Structures are given as C-alpha cells and as structure tokens.
Amino acid sequence: MAKATTRRTRLPAFRTDAEERAFWENHRPGDYAGGMLPERVQVSRRIRRRVTERKENLTLRMEPSRVQEIKTLAQELGVPYQTLMRMWIVERLRREKVGESGLTV
C-alpha cells in the first residue's frame, strides 16, 4: 500500500546542480507542483507535430488493483495515469528498437 504524501509548495534554493540532482533523487515533482510558476518555452515544429498528432483510442483490460497502483503512482508523480502508461509504452518501444529490452524468449 502506498503511503500518503504531503504536498509541499516551495522548492528549496539549490547552490549547485549536484545538490539539485541529489534532491530530486529522493523527492517527487508532484509534491511541489503548487509552488511552481508556469514558464513560456519555445518548442520545435517537429516536436509540436508529435505532441499534437491525433491519438488513437486503445482499450486495455487490466485488474482493478493494477489500475489503482498506476493511478496512485501517477498522482505521486504529478501526471495523469493515462499519460504515465503511454510514457511507459513509448519508452519500451524505444528500448526494443535499439535492442535493449533485456528480455529472453
């Protein structure tokens, strides 16, 4: 069972990149989302096309307990659970493409 997390609002000030890396190894961004300010960024056309590409609906049957595990983890990470699942699938596809699956058949 996952433990409940408390939402923090402010990030600490980091003196070095190493200090910031060490912090994020033990903390989740979702805990600090309320204290972050939006930033305007420029995104390349290539990436914009990939993001705006129409998604196709997919039905996936899973045990309710697994779905709840994914939802809990996604909430801790501060992302929608469908997005987290999509990220996992895309990550695995990339690993398969370069032969890093680690699976033996």
Q: Which amino acid is at 53?
A: E
Kindly report the number of other CB atoms within 10 A of residue 21's CB atom.
Answer: 10
Domain boundaries, the chain: 17-97
Q: Note the pLDDT of residue 1.
A: 43
Q: How far, in Å, CA of 92 to CA of 105, rounded?
A: 16
Q: How far, in Å, CA of 6 to CA of 76, rounded?
A: 10
- DSSP code, position 60: -
Does residue 10 register a pLDDT over 90? no
Q: What is the pLDDT of residues 11-64, one digit of tens each?
A: 888 999 999 989 988 888 877 777 667 888 888 888 888 777 788 888 999 999
Does residue 102 register a pLDDT over 80? no
Mutual angle of helices 64-77 and 81-97, in 10-degree steps: 90
